[in-house]
Amino acid sequence: MAKMGMVFDLKACIGCNACVVACKQENSLPDGVFFTRTLSHDYGEYPTNKRVYIPTICNQCEDAPCEKVCPSGATYTREDGIVMIDNEKCIGCSSCAVACPYDMRTMLSDEMFQKGLFGTGQITPFEEQGYDRYIAGTAAKCDFCSQRVDAGLNPACVSTCPTNARIFGDLDDPNSAPSQAIEKRGGRQPLPEKGTKPKVYYID
Amino acid sequence: MSGNPPVQNSLKPGKWINSTCKMCLHSCSIRVHVTDGGVVNKIEGNPTNPSNAGKLCPKGNAGIMRHYDPQRFKQPMRRTNPEKGPGIDPGWEPIGWDEALEITAREIKRSLDKDPRLIMPSLEDFQKMHIWFWPLAIGNHNFYQSGGTMCGGAYHPLNGYIHSAFGAANDAKYCNYWISNGGGDGFSSHLHAAAAAHWVAKARVERGMKVVTVEPRMSIAGAKAEEWIPIRPATDRLFAMSLSHVLVNEGLCDYEFLRKDTNAPYLVGPDQFFVRDADGQIFVWDKAANCAKRWNDPTLKNDNLALEGEYVVNGVKCRPAFQVYKDILRDASPEAIEKHTTVPAATVRRIAREFAEAAQIGETITLEDGRTVPFRPAAYNYYRGAQGHKTGMQTNQAFQLVNMLVGNIDHPGGRCGVTITDGCVDNNHCQPGECGQMLGTPHQLGHMPPFAWPPNEYHLAGYFPVGVNGPHLNMLSYTEPEKYGITFKPDVLVNCHSNPVWSIQGPREKWIQFLKDMRFIVCVDVIPTEMTDFADIILPSSDYLETYNAVMIEPPYTEGICFRQPVTPPLYDTKSEEEIFFELSERLGVLDQYNEVINLILGFNQKPHLALEPGRKYSDRDIAERLGQLWNDKPIEWYVEHGHSSTERRLDKWYRPWEGLRLLFYIEDLPVQREQLRRQFEDAKVPFRDEWPFDDYQPLPTTVLDPLHYEPPEYNLYAITFKDIQMNFGESLSNPWIKDITYRDPVHTGLLLNTATARKMGFANGDIVLVESPYGKLYGRLTTAEGIHHETLGVSNALSRTRNENRAVLMSGGHYNDLLPYDMKHTDGATGQPETTCKVKITKLADWPDFLKQGSTVYDFVDSIEKAEGKGGMH
Amino acid sequence: MTQVSERLVGNSFRPGYRFQRYWDTSMALAFFFAEVGTGLFVVSLYLDLVPGMILGLALAATLKPYFHLAHMGVPKKSWRAIARPDRSWVSRGAIAVGVLVATGVLHILAQTVGLGLPPEVVNVIRYAALAAGLVVMCYQGFAMAASEAFALWASPLLPVASFLYATTAGVLLASIVCPLAGHGPAALPQGLVGVLLAADFAVVGSILVAARRKSKGGAFSVELLLKGRYARGFVGGALGVGLVLPFVAVIAGGDALALRIGAALAMLAGFFAFRLLMLRAAVYEPITYDLAASIGLPARS
């Protein structure tokens, strides 16, 4: 049994958001929806101020609060630890969205799909071939590109990241790239006090 | 669940096609997924190209949104509304290709037959040099595209002198100490952004390479740097010279390199020329023999060459070039320079010492090809912001001299020349010049036209013998034709993938009038832009997912051809640029000439069997096929399969390609060119000869201040503009995915003003302001920030779009380029590089001016994002 | 205010507070009607006040599902909400609502038309309805408390508040329905309403104190409720109109029916404000604060 996780290398990340766009194209996300975002955080005072770019994504928590509160059983965890949504079962109650401390869930709406990426009310052939996978009214989120993972590929955001700021692999395998990165450079989970046991770590 | 049908785009039934990105002008290798239904649904980096190694920047990832942009031009069109202007509906009427080409050729010919100079070309496709150089086929040297001085106007000529190359890059493979001055290489922009960011991140993360970033705004490079050093805009040359001052005066130079591999020991007379014998051989000073000898005297040992001192040779007082620079640097102590740059002297001294120490002067490395060469893992990188000044040539040279002093030029870990293309894999770009020196090749994109008075080019290119085309200078001829001796007025504009009305500095209103004055404008483009609003005929081109191409365009660490091929048939009734320009050439009767131009420009003449034949038109595929064969003799089928022939730069062409020649520490060609030009001006009695900026031609940089620093004191802030990786080169902001990420990034949502400065001046975050320079104005909204120099207003390029027919582009409150001067006072006499920084004053307004209250602006869009309350998870 | 709004980042790619709007007005109405209706039903059950039971059950069985379904993304599949009572309070609540409606209706029928059922069965039905009612009175608090996302919600006091508010509303409404239905004054202890209102006040205050202590996000939410953009609705509406005003009215006016009606309306208005603003003031917290410690960043306050 694997435990797929991701490490974000804050030293490497240049905040280019190629990951965000790669995700949008891989997953045909409708306008305004992001499964991953890279935040820009300024701190300190001029001229010694600093900026750090902080990638964020669904943390695929081991104690996933979204799964615990899901009344329909739509949210479940795969054997490899990826938290999934069966959108056929999802009733759109949004319980998961308010349970996720990271605001990583999106409730899909009809408007999102009808508006189109260009906001013209018409959808492109790209959107047409991609929107089938979604059901308006249901919840959606990053699933580490689970189908790519099944095919032996990295998630789209990882594979496009110019600086290798996203390191993906099996956290149960001490020799995997993310395990090694954590071992060598520490690693910190987001909001651990929420008790969710994220499978995402930050190193710097 | 593996049993489920694929919903992720890259896994759906379909095929992958290897091709090349064109979302910026560079050429990362991509693989494109097309579904069985024929829909392009995923673009990824091609991992087999060592350049981008499977990585793509956000723009490369957003190509699908360009391909399926509903605003794409779908067939040729003719204007029906005679009124032209920004955002005014041209009333397009679809017409057939034959008619469109017929009208276009007829209108061009009407002027061409009178005078080829009446044609104004603006052909910006930098991946297709054979389109860019089409005007040569009609005997025309006008130039109106922005890819001249607004790019690396002075950068390219100077690289031609230093590396005999178009570009240059810090060698990320070995570099351990990287100074980034006003350039985004390796972080956000310029050469193959995703590829460079990839290599540089590896250096930073895996090898702990230290980055020191010197720039007025904390860019990505500034954010990633161990140290960000804010600097007053347009003082970067002085900063570099203060570094050099420390290197030179503390003995932190690679003297062995300077003696052996550069002309630093060559003796310079008081007239700025080398001291020569009657045969033109240059003298050096032999310290051992204590006498002057000719540079090629067999008794000379490099160790004995004097770099310092003052001598008399044949009665002429002279100094080694190194001493000349050392004397110039006397005025450039960090303490003296601090008042200009605002960078503390102690910081400069520390950085200089760290830099020299990291350069490991004296160390060598043995390369895989068996050569043992100097190992200099410290390098100074700079680009657009730092070099884009009135004194561009001097400025670029000052930066390169920091590199040269520590001996890192074309050495592992140092500053390496990057060719734009090698054409054929065996071509070396370095040639011998005079007296043992490497030949300086400032004309990286071809020679400027010859001097003539009255001028033959509307943009006065004949007066810039070592420069690049300065499109902004068209405005001089347009507004002051008598003064500039203009005897003709271009009336036909041929435009291809170019948006000069948006991207060239100077007053928008006058540029608009300039366009309105054109009798006929044809635009070859994919989508509407500020420019196509003025077209009479639209010739829609196919996009990069529908055409062939082959290009090697200044990849920093690799060489080879990146091959583009159609992944789908054209979606609409469009043609490749090749088809369009071959058609036009035939109709204009210049097909043979055009084929000859292409043979020359693309180098087909090097392999005669590849040369285009007279009387034949060729397709995009034909050209791409020949470019592939020129490189490595592989047939097009091989390229169709592999998508590229990119490999790491061949060591002999990458490190010391000039082996045995001396690099130009001292660029004597600049005073040579100056005096020749001065003579030409005198002989022709050019009326403005006394005000022409001949002083910009200097063999070594000086500490002169750029004129913008002398603007009236009421202009109490500097203004700079900037892009980041999501806008790197070219049009981006009509692309919804690029819009998505740009306007969520706080640096692109308002005019950046230092928080403490704002407080001091009585401004607050969110204030609506009028920004005025001595030359123009714009409106905007302030974002107070820490990451900006305390005297600087930062204007993101994302806040510079103006109203046009492309409704996806959000209008801002004016254009940064409007704030800039276009005159010769602010143009580098040597290169044509215009000043790109300006002084401004800002005034708080109670509300937006009326024209910004109608319709949605970029600020409305920003508000819709920043004030959103997350309904339905619209994050 | 400027400072507060700067820390809210909307949908921009900056770390900062983001509002949740996944649960909004519809959900607040559903919660409100469930708690008011069930509170009235349960109190009426205690009082054997059939009109109260009918009214309460009607609210809980019609308006609550109506607004809840209006909130749902996929209403036609909403029956699935009962699938996971083992872990989800929403499932438990949905089941409880179902049981409440079924047993409540049976009980009312038994009380009115008479179903001919043995008294033991009626009693079982009565206790089942009571039990389901008690669950419905609390479960929404539990559902909110289950969300660790928001310090404002993640508190065991939330179900207590739900229960107390529901009881208060039930008692107030029952004491109006009773005389209006001709049953005379409700057989409730003097001062009960005052005690309940005071208890509501205390638990709301405790929720705020706990949230403020729990995290910066919690403190931010409390700031929004007490000083920020929701202060008028929360301090004026939920606390002033909803709790203080009825308290004063009840203490001062004793049993005057008009005053009771006024007090009940004020209390309900305030209760709804409480329900809505508890949803609206919840903010997601930036992960930066926590990372700050590990990557040497000072947290932005």
Contact criterion met (CB < 8 Å) for A47 and B738: no
- Decide if pLDDT at B139 tops 50: yes
Gap between the Cα atoms of B398 and B396, Å rounded: 5
Contact criterion met (CB < 8 Å) for A91 and C72: yes
Q: Does A98 touch chain C (CB under 8 A)?
A: yes
How many Å lie between the alpha carbon of A41 and the closest alpha carbon of chain B? 9
**Percent of chain A predicted with pLDDT > 90:** 92
Task: State both tokens at C126.
Answer: 């009565």
Give the CA count within 13 Å in the CB-facing half-sphere of B639.
33
In the prediction, which pLDDT does C301 show? 38
How many Å lie between the alpha carbon of B376 and the closest alpha carbon of chain A? 24
H or E, element range at B148: none
Of C104, C23, C38, the C-alpha closest to C68 is: C23
In the prediction, which pLDDT does C270 show? 98
Nearest CB partner across the interface for C20, out of B744, B746, B870: B870
Gap between the Cα atoms of B307 and B323, Å rounded: 6
Residue B532 vs residues B84, B613, B810: alpha-carbon distances, Å: 10, 34, 16
How many Å lie between the alpha carbon of A63 and the closest alpha carbon of chain B? 21
How many Å lie between the alpha carbon of A91 and the closest alpha carbon of chain C? 5
- Decide if pLDDT at B222 tops 60: yes
Q: Does A40 touch chain B (CB under 8 A)?
A: yes
- Decide if pLDDT at B3 tops 90: no
H or E, element range at B162: helix B155-162
Residue of A nearest to C76 (CA): A91
B192-213, pLDDT tens digit by residue?
999 999 999 999 999 999 999 9
A75-123, pLDDT tens digit by residue?
999 999 999 999 999 999 999 999 999 999 999 999 999 999 999 999 9
Average pLDDT score, chain B: 96
| C213, amino acid identity | R
The CA dihedral of B339, B343, B346, B350, to the nearest 10 degrees, is: -140
- Decide if pLDDT at C2 tops 80: no
Interface of C with B (CB under 8 A): 2, 6, 9-14, 18-22, 24
ipTM of the complex: 0.98
B468-486, pLDDT tens digit by residue?
999 999 999 999 999 999 9
How many Å lie between the alpha carbon of C165 and the closest alpha carbon of chain B? 27
Average confidence (pLDDT) over B156-163 = 97
Gap between the Cα atoms of B617 and B629, Å rounded: 19
B502-561, pLDDT tens digit by residue?
889 989 999 999 999 999 999 999 999 999 999 999 999 999 999 999 999 999 999 999
Question: Best of A57, A102, A135, A160 to disrupt the B interface by mutation (most B CBs within 10 Å)?
Answer: A160
In this prediction, residue C186 has a pLDDT band, given cuts at 50, 70 and 90, of: confident
Average confidence (pLDDT) over B735-753 = 96
Q: Does B335 touch chain A (CB under 8 A)?
A: no
Nearest CB partner across the interface for C73, out of A65, A92, A98: A92
Residue of B nearest to A40 (CA): B745
How many Å lie between the alpha carbon of A184 and the closest alpha carbon of chain B? 12
Gap between the Cα atoms of A72 and C74, Å rounded: 12
Strand partners, B42: B33
How many Å lie between the alpha carbon of A134 and the closest alpha carbon of chain B? 9
Residue of C nearest to B743 (CA): C12
Per-residue H/E/C for B184-231: CCCCCCCCCHHHHHHHHHHHHHHHCCEEEEECCECCHHHHHCCEEECC
C44-98, pLDDT tens digit by residue?
999 999 999 999 999 999 999 999 999 999 999 999 999 999 999 999 999 999 9
B660-688, pLDDT tens digit by residue?
999 999 999 999 999 999 999 999 999 99
Judging contacts by C-beta atoms under 8 Å, the chain C residues touching residue A72 are 77, 80-81, 83-84
In the prediction, which pLDDT does A1 show? 74
Q: Does B744 touch chain C (CB under 8 A)?
A: yes
Nearest CB partner across the interface for A91, out of C80, C150, C215: C80
Residue pair C281/C225 in contact (Cβ under 8 Å)? The answer is: yes
Q: What is the largest CA-CA distance in chain C?
A: 74
Chains B–C, number of C-beta pairs less than 8 Å apart = 40
Residue B757 vs residues B714, B720, B760, B767: alpha-carbon distances, Å: 16, 16, 5, 14
Judging contacts by C-beta atoms under 8 Å, the chain B residues touching residue A50 are 223, 228
- Decide if pLDDT at C296 tops 50: no
Q: Is C158 left (phi over 0), alpha (psi -120 to 50) or beta?
A: alpha
Q: Does B690 touch chain C (CB under 8 A)?
A: no
Contact criterion met (CB < 8 Å) for A71 and C90: yes
Average confidence (pLDDT) over B798-824 = 90
Judging contacts by C-beta atoms under 8 Å, the chain A residues touching residue B57 are 16, 18, 162
Residue pair B783/B830 in contact (Cβ under 8 Å)? The answer is: no
Residue pair B449/B470 in contact (Cβ under 8 Å)? The answer is: no
In this prediction, residue B246 has a pLDDT band, given cuts at 50, 70 and 90, of: very high
Residue pair B442/B161 in contact (Cβ under 8 Å)? The answer is: yes
Residue of C nearest to A99 (CA): C147
Judging contacts by C-beta atoms under 8 Å, the chain A residues touching residue C296 are 204
Judging contacts by C-beta atoms under 8 Å, the chain C residues touching residue B868 are 10-11
B265-310, pLDDT tens digit by residue?
999 999 999 999 999 999 999 999 999 999 999 999 999 999 999 9
Judging contacts by C-beta atoms under 8 Å, the chain A residues touching residue B68 are 124-126
Gap between the Cα atoms of A112 and A121, Å rounded: 10
The least confident of A78-92, B341-355, B851-865 is B851-865
Other CB atoms closer than 10 Å to residue B760's CB: what's the count?
10
Task: State both tokens at B380.
Answer: 């100074």
Gap between the Cα atoms of B77 and B100, Å rounded: 7
Give B443's contacts (C-beta < 8 A, 6+ positions apart): B157, B160, B466
Look up tokens 């990372």; give the residue: C291
DSSP code for C62? I
Average confidence (pLDDT) over C195-212 = 97
For chain B, count helices (H), then strands (E): 26, 32
In the prediction, which pLDDT does C115 show? 84
In the prediction, which pLDDT does C1 show? 31
**Percent of chain B predicted with pLDDT > 90:** 93
In this prediction, residue C300 has a pLDDT band, given cuts at 50, 70 and 90, of: very low
What number of residues does chain C have? 301
Residue pair B627/B639 in contact (Cβ under 8 Å)? The answer is: no
Of B131, B48, B245, the C-alpha closest to B648 is: B48
Query: Which sign does the torsion angle of CA B511, B517, B523, B526 carry?
Result: positive
Judging contacts by C-beta atoms under 8 Å, the chain C residues touching residue A195 are 148
- Decide if pLDDT at C190 tops 80: no
Task: State both tokens at C260.
Answer: 């009771």
In the prediction, which pLDDT does B150 show? 67
In this prediction, residue C286 has a pLDDT band, given cuts at 50, 70 and 90, of: confident
Q: Does A152 touch chain C (CB under 8 A)?
A: no
Contact criterion met (CB < 8 Å) for B195 and A162: yes
Nearest CB partner across the interface for B61, out of A42, A44, A160: A160
In this prediction, residue B875 has a pLDDT band, given cuts at 50, 70 and 90, of: very low
In the prediction, which pLDDT does C294 show? 45
Residue of B nearest to A117 (CA): B736
In the prediction, which pLDDT does C290 show? 57
Q: Does A148 touch chain B (CB under 8 A)?
A: yes
Beta-strand pair B520-525/B537-540: parallel
Average confidence (pLDDT) over B366-379 = 98
Q: Does A29 touch chain C (CB under 8 A)?
A: no
How many Å lie between the alpha carbon of B273 and the closest alpha carbon of chain C? 56
* Ordered alpha helix ranges (H), B17-96: 58-61, 63-67
Contact criterion met (CB < 8 Å) for B868 and C10: yes
Cα first-last separation, chain A: 29
Of C94, C100, C47, C106, the C-alpha closest to C68 is: C94
Grouping H, G, I as helix, E, B as strand and the rest as coil, residue B740 is helix
B298-311, pLDDT tens digit by residue?
999 999 999 999 99
Average confidence (pLDDT) over A166-184 = 97
Which chains does A contact via 3+ CB–CB distances below 8 A?
B, C
Write out the DSSP string of C129-172: HHHHHHHHHHHHHHHHHT-TT-TTT-STHHHHHHHHHHHHHHHH
* Letter string b/e over residues B88-103, b meaning 16 or more CB atoms within 10 A of that residue's CB: eebebeebebeebbeb
Contact criterion met (CB < 8 Å) for B786 and A147: no
- Decide if pLDDT at C203 tops 50: yes
Other CB atoms closer than 10 Å to residue C119's CB: what's the count?
9
Note the pTM of the prediction, 2 decimals.
Answer: 0.96
Of B629, B642, B631, the C-alpha closest to B565 is: B642
Average confidence (pLDDT) over B26-32 = 97
Nearest CB partner across the interface for B865, out of C10, C19, C24: C10
Judging contacts by C-beta atoms under 8 Å, the chain B residues touching residue C282 are none
Contact criterion met (CB < 8 Å) for B194 and A18: yes
Other CB atoms closer than 10 Å to residue C199's CB: what's the count?
18
Give B40's contacts (C-beta < 8 A, 6+ positions apart): A126, B32, B33, B34, B64, B67, B68, B545, B567, B568
DSSP code for B853? T
Nearest CB partner across the interface for B8, out of A18, A50, A147: A147
Gap between the Cα atoms of B820 and B774, Å rounded: 8
How many Å lie between the alpha carbon of C214 and the closest alpha carbon of chain B? 23
Beta-strand pair B119-123/B364-366: unpaired
Other CB atoms closer than 10 Å to residue C124's CB: what's the count?
14
* Letter string b/e over residues B58-72, b meaning 16 or more CB atoms within 10 A of that residue's CB: bbbbbbbbbbbbbbb
The CA dihedral of B789, B793, B797, B799, to the nearest 10 degrees, is: 140
In this prediction, residue C295 has a pLDDT band, given cuts at 50, 70 and 90, of: very low
- Decide if pLDDT at A197 tops 80: yes
Other CB atoms closer than 10 Å to residue A182's CB: what's the count?
20
Residue pair B500/B146 in contact (Cβ under 8 Å)? The answer is: yes
Gap between the Cα atoms of B128 and B623, Å rounded: 10
Query: How would you class C113 by CB atoms within 10 Å of its CB: exposed for 0-12, middle for 13-18, buried for 19 or more?
Result: exposed
Q: Does B866 touch chain C (CB under 8 A)?
A: yes
Which residues 100-139 in chain A show a CB within 8 A of chain B? Answer: 103, 105-109, 112, 117-120, 122, 124-126, 128-130, 132-133
Strand partners, B417: B168
Cα first-last separation, chain C: 14
- Decide if pLDDT at B148 tops 80: no
